[in-house]
Amino acid sequence: MRIFLLIVNLLFGVLPGYAQAPSQVSGRITDRAGEPLPGANITVKGSYDGSSANAQGHFKFSTAETGQVVLVASFVGYLAMEQKVALTGLPVEIDFKLQEVANELNTVTISAGAFEASDAKKMVMLRPRDIVTIAGANADIFAAIQTLPGAQAQSDQEGLFVRGGAASETRTIIDGTIVQNPFSSNSPDVPARGRFSPFLFKGTSFSTGGYSAQYGQALSSVLVLNTNDLPDSSQSSLSLSAVGVGGSRTQRWAKASLAAEVDYANLGPLLALVPQNVNWLQSPKSLGGATNFRFRPNDRSIFKVFGSYREGQIGIQISSFDNPDQLSEFRNRNQNLYVNAAYEVFFGKDQQWTFTGGTSFSRDLDQIDWDVNRLGRSEERWQARGVISRQLGENSNLLFGTEIHRYSFGNSFNEFGYQKQDTYAAAFMEGDIYLSRKLAARVGLRGEHSKLIGRANLAPRLSLAYKTGPYSQLGLAFGHFYQSPENRYLFTNQQLDFEKAVHYIANFQVIKTERTFRVEAYYKDYQQLVYERRQTPYVPSRFRQPTGNTNNQGYGYAQGIDVFWRDQKTVKGLDYWVSYSLVDTRRLFQNYLAEAVPTFIARHTLSVVARKFVSKISTSFNASYALASGRPYYNPNNPEFHGDRTPAFSNLSLAANYLTRIGGNFTIVVLSVTNVLGRDNVFGYRYSADGRNRAVVGQPAPRFFFAGVFITLR
C-alpha cells in the first residue's frame, strides 16, 4: 500500500512532463535592419521558460514544454513578435526581427500651423509650465501666447492677432467647445486679461492656421485648451498679491474630485502707488469664483464639469474719439458666466473607439456708460457637441462629429436696442491616415449652416507631414475657413455671407530634446470680408456701431514667415527661445477707405524669452523682450490711407520667482516688472475731425509692477 501511495505521489507531484527530453531553442533577436537587440526577452508563451538575447542578439535555452508552442520575442520599444514552433526534443533554431513601436522619433506628427504645450509627450516645443512663468505675461495665457511666432505683440487691446488676422478671427476652445468671451471686461486702449488661470489646463495647442476640421468659426487661429484630469491629492491654496487675494480648496476622493476657488482683484492700491498716464475713474476690480468637478468611474471614462462666474468693473478717462482735445469718460460693468460639461469614454474591443461629448453655456453682459450715453452688450451661447472616433491600425484614426449652437446677442444704445438669434450647426469628419511612419495625411471636411444668414458652407482641410530624419520633418497644410460676420453687422444685414480665408502653409521643423528649430511660411487669401459702402467722414473707432449698407466685397491677403528657436542646452541651466514673425498683409474691409495694412499689424515682431533657475537661492529668473516695428494709424492729413507708422514698440520685462516654505507649506514669491526700461510706447494717434489736433494712444503707465505670494497648503 505504501508503494502505491508513493506512485500516486510521484505521478502527481514530482515528475511532470517526464515523458520527453527537453528541447534546445536558440536563435537571434534583431531589429528590422539586423542590428542585435541585447537584453531582448524570449519566452515560451504561458510558461516560465525562456532567455535573454546577449550582446550579439543570440539566445539559447532549453524547455521541457512539448508539442505546438508559441515563442514570444519582446523588447522595450519594439512590437512583441510571436512564432509557432513544434517542440519534439530536437534542437530548434529560430530568428526574430522586431519592428520598432511607433514613437515620436520614428513616426511623423501632423503639426503644420500648431504649437503644442503638453506634459504627456516627450518632445514638444513647450510645457504648460513654460506658459505660466513667462516674464511680463503675469500668468495670463494670452499674453504668453503672444511670445510665439505668428502672433502680434499687442499692448493696447486684448486678443490674439494671428498672421494678419484681427482678434475676432481667433477662437478659444475649452474641452471642445467655444468660449464666447475669454477676456475679462474690456475698455478702449487697455488690454484685458484672459479669464482662465493657466493652471486649469493640462494641454494647450495654439494653431496659427491650417487647423483641424473639428473647429470652425475662426478665420485665423484656434487656441485649444484641455482641462486637467483628477488632481493627485487634496490641497488648499492661498494667494496674496499687489492686485488681490484668492483662495482655493481641492478635495480628492478615490474616483472623483471637487475644487472651488474664489478671488477678488483690485488694481486700485497698485495704481495709486505707481504714476499713471491715464485717469482711472474706477480702477479695474473684479470678484469671481470657479468650481471644478471630476469623476472617473473607471480608467476608460472621465466626466468633467467646470463653471465660473465673475463680475468686474473698470472706468477710464480717455481722449474722445470725436475730439481728441476733450476727455471722454468710459465705465464698464461686466458679468460673465461660463459652464462646461465634458464626457469622454473609450469602448469596444481593445478600446479603439472613443466618444467625447460636451455641452457648454456662456453668458456675457456689458453695461457701459460712455459720457452721457448708456450702452449695453449681451451675448449668450449654448453649445452641444459629440465626436466619435476610431483607431485604425497603429497610428491612423477616423472621426465624425457634430455640433450645434444657439447664439443670441444684443446691443443697446440708450433707448435703442437690437437683438438677434442664430442657430448654427456643423458636421465634420476627419481622418489621420499614416501611409507609412514617415508620411501622414490629415484629411478633413467641415460643413456649417447658420440659420440667421440662411447660408451654408463646406470647408475642406488637408495637412501633410513627411519625416526627413529622426528629428526633422516637413509639413504642408491647406484649408478653407469660414466665420459668421461680426455681430455688429448682423443687426442691420442678415443677407451677409460667411467671411472666408484660404490658408496655404509649409513648414520645416527640427525637434530635439533640448533644442527646437522651426520655420513656417504661409499665404492666406481673405475673401468675402464684410465691407461697408464708403461713408464720410471716416470714423476710425473700433467701438462705433455701423449703420450703412454692407456687403461681402471685402478682400485681402496675408503672407509671411515665422521662425522659432528654443535652446535649453548651450548654456547650462539657461532656457531661452526666440520668435520672429514677418507679416506682409493688406486688406479692404469694414469701413476702410482703401486697401491697406490694418492698424493692428506690425510687419516685424521679435520676441525673446529666457529663464534661469539658480538652485542655490531657489529662485527662477525670467526675462522677456519684445520688439515690433511700427503699426499703421489713420491720419486724415495723409492722402494715403493708413500711410503713417507709429514708432517701434519694445518692452523688456523681468520677473523672479522664489520658491520656499512658509510653515511647512510650499510657497512661491513672485516679483515682476513689466517694461523695466520705461519705454514710452505709442499704439496710435486719435485725430480731431479737422485733422489739426491729435492725442496719443499709449500705455496707461510706463511700468507695471507685480508682487505676490502663492501658498499651497497640504
Partner 1 sequence: MKKLTMFFAQVLILASVAVAQQPNVKLAAAMKTAMAAYDQARSPAEVQQVANQWERIANAEPGQWLPAYWTTYTYLMLHYRSEDDKVRETALDKTGEWMEKTEKMQDSNDEVAILAAWYYQARLGESPATGWARFGGKVSRNIDKAKQLNPENPRVYLVEGQNIYYTPSAFGGGKEKALLILKAGDEKFAKFVPVSDFHPNWGKSRLDKLITACQSAN
Q: What is the closest distance, in whole angstroms, from the C-beta atom of residue 658 to partner 1 in the complex?
A: 9
Q: What is the closest distance, in whole angstroms, from the C-beta atom of residue 520 to partner 1 in the complex?
A: 26
User: Is 233 among the residues that bind partner 1 (CB under 8 A)?
Assistant: yes
Count of residues making up the chain: 714
Query: What Rg value do the Cα atoms of the chain yield, rounded?
Result: 31
Distance separating alpha carbons of residues 633 and 612, to the nearest angstrom: 38
Q: Which residue lies nearer to partner 1 by CB, 10 or 272? A: 10
Q: What is the closest distance, in whole angstroms, from the C-beta atom of residue 340 to partner 1 in the complex?
A: 24
User: Is 49 among the residues that bind partner 1 (CB under 8 A)?
Assistant: yes
Are 76 and 40 in contact by the 8 Å Cβ rule? The answer is: no
Q: Which residue lies nearer to partner 1 by CB, 5 or 90? A: 5
Q: What is the closest distance, in whole angstroms, from the C-beta atom of residue 25 to partner 1 in the complex?
A: 13
Q: What is the closest distance, in whole angstroms, from the C-beta atom of residue 395 to partner 1 in the complex?
A: 19
Q: Which residue lies nearer to partner 1 by CB, 65 or 364? A: 65
Q: Which residue lies nearer to partner 1 by CB, 225 or 628? A: 225
Burial 326-362 (b: 16+ CB within 10 A, else e): eebebbbbbebbbbbbbbbbbeeeeeeebebbbbbbb
Q: Which residue lies nearer to partner 1 by CB, 237 or 528? A: 237
Q: What residues contact residue 13 under an 8 Å CB cut-off, 6+ apart?
A: none
User: Is 436 among the residues that bind partner 1 (CB under 8 A)?
Assistant: no
**Single residue of 599, 660, 688, 693 touching partner 1 by CB under 8 A:** 660
User: Is 16 among the residues that bind partner 1 (CB under 8 A)?
Assistant: yes
Distance separating alpha carbons of residues 222 and 175, to the nearest angstrom: 13
Q: What is the closest distance, in whole angstroms, from the C-beta atom of residue 613 to partner 1 in the complex?
A: 7
Distance separating alpha carbons of residues 208 and 116, to the nearest angstrom: 11
Q: Give the range of 38-46, 110-118, 381-389, 691-699 binding partner 1 by CB under 8 A.
A: 38-46
Residue with cell 542646452: 569
Q: Judged by CB under 8 A, how many residues of this single chain contact partner 1? A: 38
Tell me the CA distances in angstroms from 447 to 217, 357, 402, 428, 496, one per residue in order.
11, 19, 9, 6, 18
Distance separating alpha carbons of residues 276 and 272, to the nearest angstrom: 8
Residue with cell 502672433: 151
User: Is 231 among the residues that bind partner 1 (CB under 8 A)?
Assistant: yes
Q: What is the closest distance, in whole angstroms, from the C-beta atom of residue 438 to partner 1 in the complex?
A: 22
- Scan residues 60-89 and list those touching partner 1 (CB under 8 A): 76-77
Q: Which residue lies nearer to partner 1 by CB, 421 or 618? A: 618
User: Is 19 among the residues that bind partner 1 (CB under 8 A)?
Assistant: no
Longest CA pairwise span in the chain (Å) = 125
Which among 241, 318, 195 has a CA at the least distance from the CA of 704?
A: 241
Q: Which residue lies nearer to partner 1 by CB, 119 or 322? A: 119
**Single residue of 119, 371, 640, 680 touching partner 1 by CB under 8 A:** 119
Are 457 and 482 in contact by the 8 Å Cβ rule? The answer is: yes
Q: Give the range of 36-44, 279-287, 389-397, 516-524 binding partner 1 by CB under 8 A.
A: 36-44
Which among 549, 554, 551 has a CA at the least distance from the CA of 589?
A: 554
Distance separating alpha carbons of residues 27 and 21, to the nearest angstrom: 20
Tell me the CA distances in angstroms from 660 to 113, 242, 245, 516, 669, one per residue in order.
39, 19, 19, 32, 8
Q: Give the range of 325-333, 467-475, 625-633, 657-665 binding partner 1 by CB under 8 A.
A: 657-665
Mask for 661-690, x = binds partner 1 (CB under 8 A) = x--x-x------------------------
How many other β-carbons are positioned within 10 Å of the β-carbon of residue 122? 11
User: Is 232 among the residues that bind partner 1 (CB under 8 A)?
Assistant: yes
Q: What residues contact residue 298 under an 8 Å CB cut-off, 6+ apart?
A: none
Are 108 and 186 in contact by the 8 Å Cβ rule? The answer is: no
Mask for 294-333, x = binds partner 1 (CB under 8 A) = ----------------------------------------
Q: What is the closest distance, in whole angstroms, from the C-beta atom of residue 39 to partner 1 in the complex?
A: 4
Give me 74's grid cell. 519582446
User: Is 9 among the residues that bind partner 1 (CB under 8 A)?
Assistant: yes
Q: What is the closest distance, in whole angstroms, from the C-beta atom of residue 206 to partner 1 in the complex?
A: 19
Which among 150, 146, 126 has a CA at the least distance from the CA of 138?
A: 146
Q: What is the closest distance, in whole angstroms, from the C-beta atom of residue 75 to partner 1 in the complex?
A: 9
Name the site residues for partner 1 (rule: CB under 8 A): 1, 4-5, 8-9, 12-13, 16, 38-39, 41, 43, 45-52, 55, 76-77, 119, 127, 129, 231-233, 613, 615, 618, 659-661, 664, 666, 714
